[in-house]
Amino acid sequence: MTGTAAAQSEDADNEKPRASKSSQSASAEDDWQVMAGLGVGIAPEYRGADSYAAIPLPYFSVSKGRFFADILRGIGWKVIQTENWTLAPTISYARGRDNEGAISAFDDVSDSAMAGVLLNWQSGHWELDSDLATPVTGDLEGWRLRSYVRYRARITERLSYAIGPGATWADSDWNDSLYGVSAADAARSGLDAYRADDSHFRTSLNGRLSYYLTRKLNVSLIARYSRLYGDAADSPIVKDVGDANQLFGSVLATYKF
C-alpha cells in the first residue's frame, strides 16, 4: 500500500471535491458526470506517527443517476435519495498499516475491501456524512464508524470554503489490527508487546479552501488536525515513538468533464 492510498481512503476525511454550482446545473443528474484531479500532500507515515512524508494525491470520481464510484467513498448505489437524504450500500477501501518510520521492523497489516453503508444529509450550507463499514478482505478486522459535519459557503464568486468537525469510532478488533504490537514485532523493534482490548476514538477538524479558475477547474487547499484517544493513543507505536496529535495538508487540482 502506498501513501497515496492512505491519504485518499481515510486521511482525507471524506472531504470530496465539488464542481461549481453553475457546472453542476449544466448536466442532468442522469448524465454521466466525471471528475479527475491530481495533487500533493503531507501525511503521517502511519496512523499515530510523529514523522511525515510527501505523497501524490490522485483523485477520480464518476456518477450516473443513483450510481457513484470515487476514491473516497468507494462504489455505491443510492437506494434512498430525497432532497435532503441519501442512503447507499457501498464497497470501499481501507488502508492497513505499512512498516514505515518508527515501525519499520513490524509486519505489514494489509489493506482491506470494506462492505458498508453511507448516509448523507444536506440542507442549505450544512452537510453530514456518516459511514459504517466492516472489512471483507485483508488483515483488518472489526467495525469502523465515521461521521463528518461541514459548513460550506462562498466568499466570492470564485472562492469557496468548507469547515467542520469529524469523529471516528472503531471497535477493539479494528483497534488491535492497527495499534497492537505482536510478540514478534516487539522482539524486532524493542517496543513493548501490546494488545488493544478496547475501542478507540479519533476527533478531527477539517478545512478546505477552493478557488475556481473556470467553471470546471478548481484548485483546493485542504488541512486537517486530528487526535487519537483510548487504546489507540496508549499504544507504544503512538505513545512511545509517535504522537496522538496528527496533521494532514494538501493542495489538489480537479477538473469536471
Mean pLDDT for all residues in the chain: 91
Q: Residue 6's pLDDT is what?
A: 43
How does residue 26 score in pLDDT terms, banded at 50, 70 and 90? very low
How does residue 19 score in pLDDT terms, banded at 50, 70 and 90? low
pLDDT at 8 over 60: no
Does the domain at residues 3-15+32-256 carry the CATH identifier 1.10.630.10?
no
Lowest-pLDDT choice from 25-34, 77-86, 114-123, 234-243: 25-34
Span 192-213, mean pLDDT?
95
Can you give the pTM of this predicted structure?
0.88
DSSP class of 20:
-
Alpha carbon of 131 to those of 86, 120, 128, 135, 155: distances in Å? 12, 9, 10, 13, 30
Q: Residue 98's pLDDT is what?
A: 87
Residue spans of the domains in the chain: they are 3-15+32-256
CA–CA distance, 236 with 48 (Å, rounded to integer): 10
| Percent of the chain topping pLDDT 70 | 89
